[in-house]
Structure 1
């Protein structure tokens, strides 16, 4: 089921090698704008070291931009925004099916100067449940490609300090 309203912020900061500070801040907000639709606004900011892939600020590695999963953008800083409209289209005892129409934009920077940007728009059907979750998406991105994607299960994103 979709949350009806709320706001979430999470921020992590690491200083792994005594030279580079790595940060990752995320936010997620649900706004009940229409009786059956929620607006979803989320995004974040990452900082790191674009010269070292282990410490780079990346877009595409944590579902910030879905179409970049195979070739993430890397830089010293990165930010992204997600704007979507979501609706629960069916509910039953086992859960429900949600529909979301969304757009994503992200940009990586070198020393706080714009370097590369990317946008994508898509539609997703998801079946979020406690023990088993799945999603099917169709995404159109700025390169003109149409991508069909799916996920099964709930990702266990690693969000601890770097080694």
Structure 2
């Protein structure tokens, strides 16, 4: 009899466990089935044709053909510097663009210097008179015989500068 009661109790416990598991499974399936449906994922259409853009110019200007030449390249020019007046003076002049200017100390006047340059150039001569008495100095710069800069200064401690950028 004890065995029969024990068997009945065991059978009842097993049956209760199976019923609980089945019930939990049913609840899980019901929860899954009641989940909201995600929105459908659609890929937007990408245009395959290029739209026409109205109003773009079709008559573009031509590029210039007379662009400046690089320093040291291109056409050779002859530059003549001249300083006149009451001396002596200090003179600084450009002999080659991109290099240090040349200097002449205590120059006797009149002073002249001719140099040859190529391409775009800085033509420049500066004369400084540091005398305590009144006087005058003049400078000029010529390119291929044509005067491109000229200056005259008078007084004491004076400067005359003649400069021109050539392309």
**TM-score bucket of the superposed structures, by smaller chain:** under 0.3
TM-score normalised by the chain length of structure 1: 0.25
TM-score normalised by the chain length of structure 2: 0.25
Q: Which has more strand, going by share of residues?
A: 1
